Amino acid sequence: MAGHVEESDYLGGPDERLDEVYRDVAMRELQEELGVQAPLEPVGHFPPTEGVDYEQARVFKTHHAGPFTLQAEELEEARWFTPEQLDALVRDGREPVTGMLVYLVRWIRERGLWG
């Protein structure tokens, strides 16, 4: 799941308290899109990366056993993948996978953060 920081999300100026802003937006998106609340742990901050994405991204991790309630306006479906299943999906090429997802999964795996 993903979300965007809106102007109304800022707690001060656009460059103030950004760690709090991004955490709060991620928590809101988790609640809105999956219908759950859980503590979030920051994993990484990524600037715009040529060939990957034009926006900066902050990634958090959490654990939650569900149940999940998908927000119909935002999500058509949710699927969970093992690293090997995701590799196969990317190799297969029949379903669209964003460059940012591939980039982030590689980054997470290289640091032993998956699992």
The 10s digit of each residue's pLDDT in 7-44 is 898 988 777 888 999 999 999 999 999 999 999 999 99
Q: Under 8 Å CB-to-CB from 98, ≥6 apart: which residues?
A: 53
Q: List all residues 6 or more positions away from 19 whose beta carbon is below 8 Å from its beta carbon.
A: 42
Angle of helix 99-110 relative to helix 83-92, nearest 10 degrees?
Answer: 150
**Of 91, 108, 112, which Cα lies nearest the Cα of 100?**
108
Q: What pTM did the predictor assign?
A: 0.82
Is-contact 69 35, C-beta < 8 A?
yes
How confident is the prediction for the chain on average, in pLDDT? 89
- CA–CA distance, 86 with 66 (Å, rounded to integer): 21
Percent of the chain with pLDDT over 70: 98
